[in-house]
Amino acid sequence: MFVNCLALSEPTASAVILLVFGALCASAVLFSRLFERLGIPIVLLFLILGMLGGSEGIFRLDFDDYGLAARLGTVALVLILFDGGMNTSTASFRMVLWPSAILATVGVALTAVMLALGAYWLLDLPLGSALLLGCIVSSTDAAAVFAVLRGGKLNLKQRVGRTLEVESCINDPMAVILTLTVTDFLVAGGVPSWWKVCVEVPAQLAIGGVVGVLIALGGRRLITRQYITTVGLLPVFTIALAFISYGAATVVYGSGFMSVFATALVLGNGPLAYRAGLARVHDALAWLSQVSMFLMMGLLVYPSQLLPIVWVGLAMGLFLAFVARPLAVVICLLPFKYPAKEVLYLSWVGLRGSVPIILATFPVLAGVPENQQIFNTVFFIVVLSTIVPGTTVRMVTRWLKLGDKVKPTPEAVLEINSPAPLDGIIESYPITEVVAVCRAQLSEINFPEGASVVLVVRGRHVLSAKGHTVLLPGDHAYVFFRPEDREYIELLFGAPEAA
C-alpha cells in the first residue's frame, strides 16, 4: 500500500512517518549481521532502505526539505564527532597529530582540486560546478570510517589505524569552509580569494580547538562539583556540552566541528563519572545519527533523476578512489616516511559518508546553478566509496598485512559506575603465554600497593580471585589499580582489552 502523507491529517502523517522510519531502522539493524558477513559496509543498507522509503519507492514518502536535512545533518555530525572524540585516546592523537593534520587540511584541498580538474577536463563540467563537487566530497567521513574499522572489528596496526580515525575526525572543517566559500562565490559571482581561505582555515581550526578545550574543562569541573546523582541526566549534560561547544565556536568564527571533537577528546581522557554508561549512550546516538543521515539521503534522492548522470557519477567516484585521493595522500605523507603499504592503505580507505550528504544540501539551499546534478553526483560518489573501497577493506588489510592479531573478548564484562570520578581503575587483561603473570598464582604476583586481581573470567565461568588462583592462557583478569600504577601493571599483564 502506497502512502501519501500530504493527504493525511497532521497526527496521522506523523504517525505514518515514525512507523516507516522505525521499520526502516529496525530492518537495517536486523540485516546488519548479514552485511557484515558479506563484507559490505552496513551504511549502504541504510541508503538502500532510504530509497525504498522515498517518493519513488515502496512507502512513497515525499521528502525534499533540504533545509531540514541540512539542520538535522549538522546535529547528527555533532553527535558522531563527539562519540569519535570520546573514543580517541590522547596518546593516539599525539602519535599521529601532524600527519593527520596535514591530510585533514592540505590533503582535503588537494583532493578537491584534483577531482575538480578531473571533472572539468574529462567530463566537461563547468569549472565552478566541478570545483564545488570536489570540495563537497573532499573529506573522509568519521562515521563511515568508524563503522568499517570498529563495526567490522578490524584491529589495524596502531599508526595506520589511528591516522585514519584522527584524520576523519578533524578534516570536516576544511571541507565545510571550502564548500561554503565556493558556494558563496558561485552565487555572488567572481573569483574566490584563496589567500583568505588559507588564513581562515587554520584560524578557524585553532579557535575551535581552544573553545572546545575550555568548554570540556569547564564541563568537567561542573560535573565534579555538582555530583549529578541521577544517572540519566549525565548523558543529557554531555550532549548539551557537545551542542554548546559547536554553537560557541561557530559564533566566534571558529570551527564548530573541531570544537566538538576537542571537547569530547578532553572529556574522554580525564576522570569522568559513569564512563562506561556514557560511552554506550554516545555510541548508540552516533549509530542513530549515521542511520538517520543515510536514510535521509535515500529519501532525498529521486532514482528517475539519477539515470541521466550515471556515467558522470561513476566516472567521478572511480577517479576519486583511484586518482585524486591516492595522489593527495602520497604528497601529504612524503615528509613523514610512512611505509609504502601504509600509504597505499590510507589512500584506499578514504571513505565518504554523511558529511558529503550534508554539504551537498548547501548548493541546493543557496540556489547554485546545476545544484541538483551536483547532489545526485555526490550520491554516486558516496555509494561508490561505500562499495569499492568499503567492501574490500578486510581483504586489503590482509593483503598488506596491516592487521594486528585480534585478542579474544571475555564472556563477561565488569564495570564500576560511580556518580563521581574515582581514583581507581578496573581494566580487563587477556592472559596469553607471553605475559609475565601467565601460569602464576595470584599470591606470587608482586602487585603495587592497593592493586589486585578482583575477578577472573575463564570461558563461561566467573572465578573469585583468591591467592591460590592460577592465571591460565585464555583467561581474562580484571585488575584494580590506581592510574599512576598503569605502566607497572601493564609490564605484568600486557595491554588491556580494546574498548
**CA nearest neighbour of 163 among 349, 287, 290:** 349
Q: What is the pLDDT of residue 95?
A: 83
Maximum C-alpha span of the chain: 79
In the block, residue with C-alpha cell 589495524: 156
Q: What is the pLDDT of residue 421?
A: 63
d(CA 313, CA 309): 6
**CA nearest neighbour of 20 among 51, 59, 48, 78:** 59
Distance of CA 10 to CAs 183, 263, 444, 475, Å?
A: 35, 39, 70, 57
Domains of the chain, with CATH numbers? 64-399 (1.20.1530.20), 425-493 (3.30.70.1450)
d(CA 254, CA 205): 6
d(CA 137, CA 139): 6
What confidence tens digit (pLDDT) does each residue in 20-55 have?
Answer: 777 767 776 777 777 666 656 677 777 777 777 776
What confidence tens digit (pLDDT) does each residue in 201-248 have?
Answer: 788 888 999 999 999 999 988 887 766 667 788 899 999 999 999 999
Asked if residue 274 lies in contact with residue 227, where contact means CB atoms within 8 angstroms, the answer is no
Describe the strand order of the beta sheet including 425-430 as a list of residue ranges: 425-430, 476-481, 452-458, 461-464
Cell numbers for 65, please give them: 526539505
pTM of the model: 0.80
CA torsion sign for 78, 166, 395, 134 is positive
**CA nearest neighbour of 426 among 481, 492, 484:** 481
d(CA 72, CA 62): 17
Cell numbers for 441, please give them: 598464582
Q: What is the pLDDT of residue 154?
A: 67
What confidence tens digit (pLDDT) does each residue in 191-203 have?
Answer: 556 676 677 778 8
